[in-house]
A and B are shown apart, each in its own frame.
Chain A
Amino acid sequence: MKKFLLILTLTLVASGLFTAVAFAQDTTPTDDEVNAIAKQLYCPVCENTPLDVCPTEACRQWRELIRQQLAEGKTEQEIKDYFVANYGARVLSEPPRTGFNWLVYIIPPVLILVGAVVLFNAFRAWTKPKSAEAGAGMEKGAGASSSDDEYIKRLEEELKNRK
């Protein structure tokens, strides 16, 4: 009986160890998990290159840092906060919505809106004078110049002759 209990205990301990090892292996963050955060960051060494596709050694080190922090159980936001605190907000692909950074989010839509209004007014101005001129032409009808009359007369005569 003692022997049986000993074997049972050893089996349980061994299975527990294997489970722990397997669990530890499962918690190693994958490249996809790392890159999901890395693509939101930019390496300041090679400017304008997202961290997930940057081939330099500096970026490789940063990706490893992300992997390490994910393994420690840190959230995406905590990792991004770490990078901002240490390397500055310039590492973020999207500037944080604070202070002067708001201009980045406000100015483009405002400019698009202003542009749309200007275009609308310009198109309207291009079409209005034509209609106005047409109206004016009709008004002019009665008091048209003699040269216009001659031209119309000649045209009418030629049309009659053709008939």
Chain B
Amino acid sequence: MTETTTQTKRSVPLWAQITIWGFLAGLLALVGFGLKRSSSPMAEIGKPVPDFKLVYYEGYEYNNTAEMNLSDLRGKVVLINIWASWCKPCEQEAPDLEEAWQLYKDSNDVVFVGVDYVDTPEGAFGYLKKFTITFPNAPDLQSNISSILNRQMGVPETYLIDREGVLRQIKIGPFVSISEIQAFIANAE
């Protein structure tokens, strides 16, 4: 009678319980560590933009510098335009962006930086030539920059960073005119 009761109430051995819980705890710790390592700070409007590296396309450098950090542009208003050669709406705003750049490039106060999102070299250079883009451009093949900028929807998206490195405004979708770009940049003041 007593044996039967003991048999019925028999549970998982202690060593097995410790092993299972230990395995689960280890697994959670690994996943947590991996998530912490992969997560990067993100930009928010009204807060300084976390720094990131720009490695410019050949022929599209800024001040003949092949690579720089965003923080190197502190003291200037920075307009970052995320685009891709496979993006049709980007083509809509490309001529206006270039024309607007021509208005600001000599002021040395406003910098346009194109960030080419997940593109092929042929596609990228074909696009830059097609729209005779001259402002600095850098690839973002692994989405590192667009992740830090906290890309909202897709491409194109444009970010306005003021002289103190604070994110002022985000434009989702293409600009429709030069005056819209000018009004956007005026928000940095």
Contacts and interface: CB of A to CB of B under 8 A. Distances in A.
Contact of A136 (B1, B10, B20, B122): B1
Interface string A56-87: 11101110110010000000000000000011
A132 B4 contact: yes
A132 B1 CA distance: 9
Q: How large is the interface on B (under 10, 10 to 19, 20 to 34, 35 or more residues)?
A: 20 to 34
Nearest to B27: A107
Interface residues of A, number: 28
B81 interface: no
Interface in A82-115: 86-88, 100, 103, 107, 110, 114
Give the dominant DSSP class at A's interface: helix
Contacts of B123: 61
B118 A65 contact: no
A16 interface: no
A65 B143 contact: no
A145 interface: no
A87 B1 contact: no
Contact of A58 (B7, B20, B34, B84): B84
A112 to B, nearest CB: 14
Contact of A44 (B12, B23, B31, B118): B118
B1 A139 contact: yes
Contact of A135 (B4, B31, B120): B4
Contact of A88 (B27, B85, B142): B142
A153 interface: no
Interface of B: 1, 4, 7-8, 10, 12, 20, 23, 27, 30-31, 34, 84-86, 88, 118-120, 122-123, 141-143
Interface of A: 44-45, 56-58, 60-62, 64-65, 68, 86-88, 100, 103, 107, 110, 114, 121, 125, 128-129, 132-133, 135-136, 139
A-B pairs, 5 with minimum CB distance: A57-B86, A58-B86, A88-B142, A132-B4, A61-B120
8 contacts: A45-B86, A45-B118, A61-B123, A87-B141, A87-B142, A100-B30, A133-B4, A139-B1
